[in-house]
Amino acid sequence: MSKYTEEELQKELETKEYEYGFYTDIESETFPKGLNEDIIRAISKKKNEPEWMTEWRIDAFKIWSEMEEPEWANVHYEKPNFQNISYYSAPKKADPNKTLDDVDPELLEMYKKLGISIDEQKKLQGIAIDIVVDSVSVATTFKKTLAEKGIIFCPISEAIQEHPELVKKYLGTVVPKKDNFYAALNSAVFTDGSFCYIPKGVRCPMELSTYFRINQAGTGQFERTLVIADEESYVSYLEGCTAPSRDENQLHAAVVELIALDDAEIKYSTVQNWYPGNAEGKGGVYNFVTKRGLCETNSKISWTQVETGSAVTWKYPSCVLKGNNSVGEFYSIAVTNNFQQADTGTKMIHLGKNTKSTIISKGISAGRSQNSYRGLVQIAAKAENARNFSQCDSLLMGNKCGAHTFPYIEAKNKTAQVEHEATTSKIGEDQIFYCNQRGIDTEKAIALIVNGFSKDVLNKLPMEFAVEAQKLLEISLEGSVG
Amino acid sequence: MLQIKNLHAGIEDKGILKGIDLEVKAGEVHAIMGPNGSGKSTLSSVIAGKEEYEVTEGEIFLNGENIDELGPEERAHAGVFLSFQYPVEIPGVSVTNFVKTAINETRKAKGLEEMPASEMLKKIREKAELLEIDRKFLSRSLNEGFSGGEKKRNEIFQMAMLEPKLAILDETDSGLDIDALRIVANGVNKLRNKDNAVIVITHYQRLLDYIVPDFVHVLHNGKIVKSGTKELALELEEKGYDWIKQEATI
Ligand SMILES: Nc1ncnc2c1ncn2[C@@H]1O[C@H](COP(=O)(O)OP(=O)(O)OP(=O)(O)O)[C@@H](O)[C@H]1O
Ligand SMILES: [Mg+2]
């Protein structure tokens, strides 16, 4: 008999388990723990990088060494010991140049568990996928189809070798090395990630997708993604993330840079499901990510994210609306449960004239979790007729969790129009009973209500992933896991 | 179909239902009337299995089985439907999606496959027509921003879709305009057959002009203080409740 009281709901939510918490025994090559110039040179050497790249990293390391870890986010955690992390771990048999038949069967098995059989993916028209396990990129499908259109989609390590002019020109231009503590760290030690270039006037014919997975213990993942949409081009990009369940905390500090040149459009969607820690708050991934996009004239960048994982999340996908008439969008669903803490939001920096931004943030908190939205809308003095609309809705389950909203607005131009709306609601016993009365059990009822609450954002995801995201929301908030 | 024996229920220390006996047979219509706060909605909630209320004494049988241990969704699967006096809003969930989920969850509980989309669509069209509901309405968020009358009509639409064995209509008439009342009442009548039963809770005779009850019960202070046939409702309409309250206290 499933019945609903606040207390029982609480209990039910606490028993949630992490579906992707397996560890795959793949032979790995892992660097000794610790961070210094030698390690960085070794990473760079391992990756066969040109001199300029090595120096770029060393420079970032020097900047990082002088920086202090930020304290201002509304999250509390034991700070990672940066000398106790291994900065490079690679499945031994991985080699991006090999065909799929050469891929370690254990790896393939892992993909299967993740629900991303590459074979299937290969057949599935419309999605090209790059998979990053620990520090290296292990498979990129659809390369050929894309190459015919002049689209480059490959591991960033490969791009550094094969397309140095593009990497040199754009890397670190949107998120400079000194931008923040974790961005500096990432710049020094990033090991892989995806690179994508869409040539002028090309509409990318399929979703590009990267799948990140932390497998090895005691390692950090520092991937770097660089997406460049040349003039009048379009691309939709999706990243998904999982990690095994471990008692210790794992660090994930990624940097994503998007560049939309004149009249280009980039849609960047994330479904993040890193291990959130167990019901007592032990373990889980620290997800400290810097994501930023630069919009040139008439261009558009949309960030859509569904965040259900990680013990601590600190993440603000942002848009720098540099060009006139450029558009920035941020659609986010952040779910926190048990002892998870999320401090996420966005920054919309309006520099150009007639720039427009939209922010829709949906926070769902359960258990004893803390869910904060932090958003900055900045309108520069020269940004005539800039417009922003922000809406932040919070849904609470039970009495022990918290939702917080921190909107910051800095308007330096009088023509700016900035609107902010916020609501907080609770899933009511009456709503649950109403659903129950119609034959819908409590778990399904919660899923239904949460999906309804998140609909505005789910609708922004590419179709294939909206369904996946919906499932993920259910898993994150329900007692039973498949 | 439904048998209630000496039912006592309440909330925390407060007793609300104080010994209810009621038997509803298949094919029958029962009307329950009674002053505000007498316990009519509480009775329907308790039959539907709302956990908030504690049953302290007595039993409820559905088709001869004690349903005391069944959760609200299990009772729904067994064919109990409650048209709420105050239907709740579920933002972002369309009427169609909600009804579809309700039907398929009920089927799942019975070990049946999901209803094929075409069949579902056909049924939705049919029932929307029966209740003269504009299909655009069905894509709106459940009860969000619905007028009082729209909410009630939507409840009966769900009833039509779910085809319950026992339907309890808690003041479904309140909020409906004259035309809507006729449409909804006719809808309910069309759904009636010899295998199902309806309990209508109302304050007014006008609904009973359309849905003619076989029995009328008066609930006062948590007890059924008078039962009769449809003439009792007419008498109440004329005289109010005072004479019954007095009779009850003697
Ligand atoms: N959840 C509750 N908490 C406290 N009191 C309640 C609760 N539910 C019902 N009651 C009380 O029980 C009594 C019966 O309420 P109920 O809603 O069943 O009346 P009703 O007969 O449906 O009245 P109306 O004709 O106004 O709809 C009222 O005094 C009401 O205040
Ligand atoms: Mg009532």
pLDDT, position A92: 52
Q: List Cα–Cα distances, A68 to A63, A82, A182, A251, in angstroms.
A: 10, 12, 10, 17
**B95 CB-near residues (< 8 Å, 6+ apart):** B137, B138, B139, B140, B142, B154, B157
| Ligand 1 atom, smallest distance to B44 CA | 18
Give the pTM: 0.78
The 10s digit of each residue's pLDDT in A67-85 is 888 776 666 767 777 777 7
| Average pLDDT for A402-412 | 89
Ranking A228-237, A321-330, A339-348, B180-189 by mean pLDDT, the lowest is A339-348
Cα gap B154→B139, rounded to integer Å: 12
Q: Give, in order, the Cα–Cα distances in Å from B138 to each of A338, B64, B100, B116, B241.
A: 36, 37, 11, 19, 40
CA distance A267 to A237: 6
Strand partners for A255: A224, A290
Mutation choice for A interface testing from B93, B108, B154, B169 by most A CBs within 10 A: B93
The pLDDT assigned to A70 comes to 74
Taking CB atoms and an 8 Å limit, are B109 and A439 in contact across chains?
yes
Q: Say if residues B16 and B53 touch (Cβ distance below 8 Å).
A: yes
| Ligand 1 nearest-atom number relative to CA B38 | 21
What is the model's pLDDT at position A209? 76
Answer yes or no: are the C-beta atoms of A170 and A227 closer than 8 Å: no
Residue (of A324, A315, A311) closest to A369 by Cα position: A311
State the complex-level ipTM.
0.95
Which pLDDT band holds residue A242 (cuts at 50, 70, 90)? low
What integer is the mean pLDDT of A254-277?
A: 87
pLDDT of residue A249: 62
pLDDT, tens digit (0-9, with 9 covering 90-100), for A80-103: 777 777 766 665 544 444 444 544
* Residue A184, amino acid: A
For A425, the closest chain B residue by CA position comes to B91
Phi/psi at A173 (5° precision): -85, -25
Q: State how far residue A296 is from chain B, nearest Cα, in angstroms.
A: 35
Distance from CA of B33 to the nearest CA of A (A): 23
From CA A56, how far away is CA A168, in angstroms rounded?
10
Q: For residue B34, which atom of ligand 1 is closest to its CA? A: 21
Pocket test of ligand 1: the residue of B8, B14, B20, B38 to mutate, having most ligand atoms within 8 Å of its CB, is B38
Written as one letter, the residue type at B137 is F
Comparing alpha-carbon positions, the chain B residue that sits nearest to A8 is B51
Identify which of A433, A444, A454 has the shortest CB distance to residue B105: A444
- Coil, strand, or helix at residue B179? helix
Q: What separation, in Å, do the N-terminal and C-terminal C-alpha atoms of chain A show?
A: 20
Q: Where do we find the tokens 């003697």?
A: B250
Question: Is B121's pLDDT higher than 80?
Answer: yes
Instruction: Of B22-26, B110-114, B228-232, B244-248, give the lowest mean pLDDT range.
Output: B244-248
Could you tell me which chain B residue has the CA closest to the CA of A429?
Answer: B52
- The tokens describing B223, both together, are 């007890």
Domains and CATH numbers, chain B: 2-249 (3.40.50.300)
Burial of B220 (C-beta count, 10 Å sphere; 0-12/13-18/19+) = buried
What is the pLDDT, as a whole number, of residue A13? 38
Indicate if ligand 1 lies below 6 Å from the C-beta of B20. no
Nearest Cβ partner of A431 from B49, B81, B90?
A: B90
Is the pLDDT reported for residue A272 higher than 90? no
Counting atoms of ligand 1 from 1, which one is nearest the CA of B52?
A: 1
pLDDT digits (tens, 9 = 90+) for A131-186: 665 545 544 556 677 888 899 988 888 899 999 999 999 999 999 999 888 899 99
Select from B73, B81, B92 the Cβ nearest to the Cβ of A452: B92
Mean pLDDT, range A53-76, rounded to an integer: 84
Average pLDDT over residues B232-237: 85
Cα dihedral: A446, A447, A453, A458 (round 10) = 170
Predicted local confidence at residue A8, as pLDDT: 46
Residue A27 has pLDDT above 60, yes or no: no
Do the Cβ atoms of A206 and A238 come closer than 8 Å? Answer: no
Rounded Cα distance between A166 and A253, Å, is 23
Contacts of A456 in chain B (CB under 8 A): 92
Query: Which residues in chain A are contacts of B87 at CB distance < 8 A?
Result: 434
In Å, how far is A363's CA from the nearest CA of chain B? 15
Residue B159 CA to residue B198 CA, distance in Å, equals 11
Name which of A320, A376, A371 is nearest A346 in CA terms: A376
Predicted confidence at residue A90, as pLDDT, reads: 60
Confidence check: pLDDT of A29 > 70? no
Task: Count the alpha carbons within 13 Å of A57 in the hemisphere toward its beta carbon.
Answer: 26
B117 pLDDT band, cuts 50/70/90, is confident
Give pLDDT, residue A168: 94
> What's the whole-number average pLDDT of chain A?
78
Q: Which two tokens stand for residue B85?
A: 């006096």
Q: How far apart are CA B197 and CA B81, in angstroms?
A: 11
The residue of chain B with its CA nearest to that of A1 is B71
Give the whole-angstrom CA distance, residue A133 versus residue A214: 6
Residue A238 pLDDT more than 80? Answer: yes
Q: Are strands A318-321 and A284-295 parallel, antiparallel or unpaired?
A: parallel
Residue A234 predicted with pLDDT over 80: yes
Q: Flag the least confident range among A90-99, A431-440, B93-102, B172-181.
A: A90-99
Q: Which ligand is nearest to the CA of B39?
A: 1
pLDDT, position A222? 83
- Among partner residues B50, B82, B102, which is closest to A440 by beta-carbon distance? B102
For the cut 80, the answer to whether the pLDDT of residue A120 exceeds it is: no
Query: Which residues touch B118 (CB under 8 Å, ≥6 apart)?
Result: none
What radius of gyration, in Å, describes the C-alpha atoms of chain B? 18
Residue B27 has pLDDT above 90, yes or no: yes
Give whole-number Cα distances, B230 to A477, B182, B212, B235, in Å: 50, 19, 7, 9
Tokens read off for A176: 């400079």
d(CA B223, CA B38): 8
**Strands A255-260, A284-295: pairing kind:** parallel
pLDDT range class, residue A6, cuts 50, 70, 90: very low
A441 vs B73, B93, B97: nearest CB: B73
In contact, B127 and B186? CB cutoff 8 Å: no
Residue A351 pLDDT exceeds 90: yes
Contact A1 B77 (CB under 8 A): no
C-alpha distance from B91 to closest chain A C-alpha (Å): 6
Whether residue B175 has pLDDT greater than 50: yes
Which protein residue's CA is at the shortest distance from atom 6 of ligand 1?
A: B11
Q: By percentage, how much of chain A surpasses pLDDT 90?
A: 35
Shortest distance, CA B170 to any CA of chain A (angstroms): 14
Tell whether the model's pLDDT for residue A30 goes beyond 70: no
Q: Tell how far CA B214 is from the center of its chain.
A: 16
Q: For residue B85, which atom of ligand 1 is closest to its CA?
A: 27
pLDDT at A380: 95
Name which residue leads in pLDDT, B138 or A311: B138
HEC letters along chain A: CCCCCHHHHHHHHHCCCCCCCCCCCCCEEECCECCCHHHHHHHHHHCCCCHHHHHHHHHHHHHHHCCCCCCCCCCCCCCCCHHHCECCEEECCCCCCCCHHHCCHHHHHHHHHCCCCHHHHHHCCCEEEEEEECCEEEEECCHHHHHHCCCEEEEHHHHHHHCHHHHHHHCCCCCCCCCCHHHHHHHHHCCECEEEEECCCCECCCEEEEEEECCCCCECECEEEEEEECCCCEEEEEEEEECCCCCCEEEECCEEEEEECCCCEEEEEEEECCCCCCCCCCCEEEEEEEEEEEECCCCEEEEEEEECCCCEEEECCEEEECCCCCEEEEEEEEEECCCCEEEEEEEEEECCCCCEEEEEEEEEECCCCEEEEEEEEEECCCCCCCEEEEEEEEEECCCCCEEEEEEEEEECCCCCEEEEEEEEEECCHHHHHHHHHCCCCHHHHHHHHHHHHHHHHHCCCCHHHHHHHHHHHHHHHCCCCC
The C-alpha atoms of residue A402 and residue A399 are separated, in whole angstroms, by 8
* Chain B residues within 8 A of A444 when measuring between CB atoms: 101, 105
Reported as half-sphere exposure (CB side, CA atoms, 13 A), residue B52 has a value of 15
Average pLDDT, chain B: 91
What's the gap in Å between B15 CA and the centre of ligand 1?
A: 11
Kind of pairing between the strands at B2-11 and B54-62: antiparallel
What's the pLDDT tens digit per position in A363-405? 888 878 888 888 899 999 999 999 999 999 998 887 778 888 8
Chain A partners within 8 Å of B162 (Cβ): 438-439
Question: Nearest CA to B200 among B216, B184, B220?
Answer: B216
Band of the pLDDT at A10, cuts 50, 70, 90? Answer: very low
Q: How far apart are the first and last CA of chain B?
A: 33
- In the DSSP assignment, the letter for residue B16 is E
Q: Is the CB of B121 under 6 A from ligand 1?
A: no
The helix or strand, by DSSP H or E, that contains position B126, with its residue range, turns out to be helix B117-130
Residue A202 has pLDDT above 70, yes or no: yes
